[in-house]
Structure 1
Amino acid sequence: MSKLRVAIPLLAILPLLAACGSRITVQVTEDAAGAEPVNDLEVQFIPFDRDSLFAVIIAGAATPEPEIPADLEQASVDERELRDAWSAAESSWNNVRDSMRSITTELDNLDDRSREYRERFDLFNDLEDRERALDRQRQAAFDEFNEMQLATQQRVDSICIVIDSWEEAAFAGYGEVEDDLLTALGQEVMADTTDAAGVAWAPAAGGPWWVHARVNTAAGELYWNVMIEAALPDTLRLRPGNADLRQGVRQRC
């Protein structure tokens, strides 16, 4: 796609530069409470709305963006639910095994003639029966998930090839468009990597800025594109609550 086709629409996404700020500090966590920081994650600080730019490019592409067949999207949802069921069964099985190991340790330190020993031994036997049942359940859950995954993976791979090919053509001139936009703004894209506390920052003057990051989780991809002014009194918290949760076939490509 030529630059000329997107030059006029790009004017709509140019932000008005504000007064100089100092720095933008963010913290990224996978949970709402902030107890699970994401470390070693790249966070970008972009002086324009990249999503709006993508929308302009997609709208001006020579051919429409490929659509994901509805039945394949549903199969992806079903596959994720089966994976979650397997994960839950695996967790329950591991919990019982941990309890059995703990009781075994206790038994090693008890008199085998004592009442407490007999009680703990009977509990171990009960847990052993439950462990066997849970082992069968987790294996059945895995088999069901694996069967669904094998049935859909070839179709997913095929549609991903189509999507990749379309994106390569549609976004062929993206680098030049972004360079021109940054030149017009007198800014640059900045990036930092989160530390062990999930914190990253950038010395962002002017504004507004869009803070961009993405994290793959068991539920899907957490995608942040948060617009802020340059000067912030507090740390910007990137949580699931202010992220888009992206799921489905496209996120597997």
Structure 2
Amino acid sequence: MTRSNFLPVILGAVLLSACGPTQVVVTAEIAQDDQSQDAEPRALGDLEIRLFPYDRDAIFDSLTATAARPEPPIPDSVLTAQNQVAESQQAWRDAEARWNTLRDTLRTLSDELDQMNRQQGQYRVLYNEFQDMEDEYADVEDERDAAFEAFTSLQGASLAAAQEIRLLRESWADEAYAEVGVAMTAHERASGLQVLADTTDANGITEFEADAGDYWVTARYELPYTELYWNISITVVRGEPLQVRLMRDNASSRPKL
């Protein structure tokens, strides 16, 4: 290719890039349950991500404000019960983890004792250690079983209370948000842009090709007793790739009934 022909090709590529959609990379990850400094964040794979060219939360807020009746609140008693269930479950898991550790240690000590001469002084030391740990093992087993019974009992009562308020709130939402689809369609048309949707890969990453404009990046991730919700405002500028990180720090935590 001659120099005179090469320059138009380069200029054409630049103009095409400037006029085309812009890459938006979304990464989703949250901290591990292990809060140690060495713990790597956990990628949220298969998470649905949407880019709305309007603020959907503002639409819901508007419909909530004009609803015929107020939204039924979640009673404090329901939230308190959920917290108690979570604490009880953690107590059970902690007891089970300790029980597993003691069980494995007892097996190791037993194997060591089987290989030793009972006349050795070290045998008596290990044997006493084994007996003490065996007593602790029995105590922890009782604690584990009691913790599990407490957890299942609290969970049953909590689920019943949560279901009652959930049905009330769903009934209210069906009435209050009956026109939400119409409102969203109108906002999308007014923006001149399209709603974009995709799911993250195993590394918690997805990519979009978005036209220039304002968007809101939304996603939901369910935890055992709460839901993480993202609705992050971004501005896509033509020709300027953008990266968005969804983390626990920039999410709203909402109760899950």
Using structure 1 for the length normalisation, give the TM-score. Answer: 0.78
8 Å CA contact 2:44–2:203 kept in 1: the answer is: yes
Residue in structure 1 matched with residue 157 of structure 2 by the alignment: 151
Deviation at 1:101, TM superposition (A): 4.5
CA–CA separation in structure 1 for the residues paired with 2:155 and 2:115: 51
Matching residue's letter, 2:136: R
- Residue 244 in structure 1 maps to residue 249 in structure 2: no
Counterpart selection for 1:111 from 100, 112, 115: 115
Identify if the C-alpha distance between structure 1 residues 30 and 118 changes in structure 2 by more than 3 Å, giving closer, same or farther.
Answer: farther
CA–CA separation in structure 2 for the residues paired with 1:117 and 1:25: 62
8 Å CA contact 2:59–2:183 kept in 1: the answer is: no
Q: Percent identity?
A: 33
Question: Which is worse superposed, 228-237 or 136-145?
Answer: 228-237
Counterpart selection for 1:174 from 165, 172, 180: 180
How big is each residue's C-alpha offset from its partner over 1:67-104, in whole Å with a ceiling of 9 and x where there is no partner? Answer: 22232332222222222222222222233334445555
Is the partner of 1:23 in helix, strand or coil?
strand
Query: Quick check: which one's strand share is greater?
Result: 2
8 Å CA contact 1:221–1:246 kept in 2: the answer is: yes
Residue in structure 1 matched with residue 15 of structure 2 by the alignment: none
Matching residue's letter, 2:249: G
- Where do 1:90-129 residues align within 5 Å? 90-103=96-109, 107=112, 111-113=115-117, 122-129=128-135
Give 1 or 2 for the bigger CA radius of gyration. Answer: 2
How big is each residue's C-alpha offset from its partner over 1:13-47, in whole Å with a ceiling of 9 and x where there is no partner? Answer: xxxxxx97512111111217752111111111111
Deviation at 1:246, TM superposition (A): 1.8
Matching residue's letter, 2:244: L
Identify if the C-alpha distance between structure 1 residues 77 and 96 changes in structure 2 by more than 3 Å, giving closer, same or farther.
Answer: same
Deviation at 1:182, TM superposition (A): 0.7
Matching residue's letter, 1:68: I
Deviation at 1:219, TM superposition (A): 5.8
8 Å CA contact 2:25–2:205 kept in 1: the answer is: yes
8 Å CA contact 1:20–1:230 kept in 2: the answer is: no
Q: Which runs of 5+ in 2 are unaligned?
A: 1-18, 33-38
CA–CA separation in structure 1 for the residues paired with 2:213 and 2:124: 71
CA–CA separation in structure 2 for the residues paired with 1:203 and 1:116: 69
8 Å CA contact 1:29–1:238 kept in 2: the answer is: yes
Matching residue's letter, 1:154: A
Using structure 2 for the length normalisation, give the TM-score. Answer: 0.77
Deviation at 1:197, TM superposition (A): 0.7
Counterpart selection for 1:65 from 71, 79, 86: 71
Matching residue's letter, 2:67: A
Question: Which is worse superposed, 92-101 or 187-196?
Answer: 92-101
Q: Which runs of 5+ in 1 are unaligned?
A: 1-18
Is the partner of 1:44 in helix, strand or coil?
strand
Matching residue's letter, 1:25: V
8 Å CA contact 1:45–1:212 kept in 2: the answer is: yes
After the TM superposition, which segments of 4 or more aligned residues of structure 1 sit over 6 Å from their partners?
114-118
Count of aligned residue pairs for this structure pair = 229
Is the partner of 2:30 in helix, strand or coil?
coil
- Where do 1:133-212 residues align within 5 Å? 133-212=139-218
Deviation at 1:195, TM superposition (A): 1.0
